[in-house]
Structure 1
């Protein structure tokens, strides 16, 4: 176990769409696939959310054929951390060298304006840590301001769930905003893969972002590469 590094995985608490009856929440493999990479290094980790407590899981993301989902969803420790997540307001950023925002549509409601997210991310980043996010989780970075008053994502290479992907899952009329548009409006240098739903990541120094659920493992791998091999 590497005692020098500890990761904070941030998940949503939000479950409701505006009109649809099914619930949203964490897209499970965005947390499990990322963590599976960290587990290979036996990295200690915590799971946190804006409200703390239970992290709801989007039922559409529980894929029984996904062996990594099955492995970690039935892992007692991982499941306990998901069901009893830390409240972000209670998190001490000094304990962590990696912060990772897992996605799922719920994040679009409770990540962007959360002041604890902004404070913790700024502190970890300015202390030399890694900031990573995947899919809709990238919305957690939209309003992170650094101590010099600049936005963290301004003029940085970024990806995240694309407008096309939102249209293809038919949720573009349900979400409070389109992530791709919001990132561009903040002057992030947004890019995406040529084909929707395939793995695609962007790396800009200590900022690693993934476009969609299948990008979560690559994000985890890249974070570790940056931490251990530089």
Structure 2
């Protein structure tokens, strides 16, 4: 397993930035969420189907759940994460690196919900949600769920989010977010779905689409596991908790 030292994200001491999240609070209230000032999105993507009935052992639903649990679906060219895999999923703090146009923003999120249920009498659902912490570029929540419709065998990846740019952004960051933020956000959703579908399909063919071992920083892991450092990362503009 490769070690990146404390410099997982370019020049940033990522371990310390992750530790600082422990004292941060969620930066919004759900009572504030309403259109048109908030973006409210739901994206559904079909994954390989199963036979009707409960999820099949090692089938598409189970494989997708594992990939979602480990944040493998996230496209590393847009968002990377650093977290402690030994911590319970519920309550887990994650340091995200949002990357676009030569700028890397480091923001915290916290897992505030884990979903493990049968919904509407037929849909087997597993997933989790994180909410943004103080200092994040955005305010809001993203929920990632894998759904099997047991009556038909359909398997879906469902991403549902509500978000808005943080009102405390400085002027330069705010302008950059106005220009690139929403486009990058929508591209992120699209790439998440593409990656998850491709990875599940590859595993069902007996292939290993990912390295299987995530880069490590002490006891923390970088996700997704195909995250790689590039020389140009050190040249990017780095902003920690820009809001």
| Coarse TM-score class (shorter-chain normalised) | under 0.3
Which has more radius of gyration?
2
Structure with the larger helix share: 1
- TM-score by structure 1 length? 0.27
- TM-score by structure 2 length? 0.26
Higher relative contact order (CA 8 A, sep 6+): 2
Structure with the larger strand share: 2
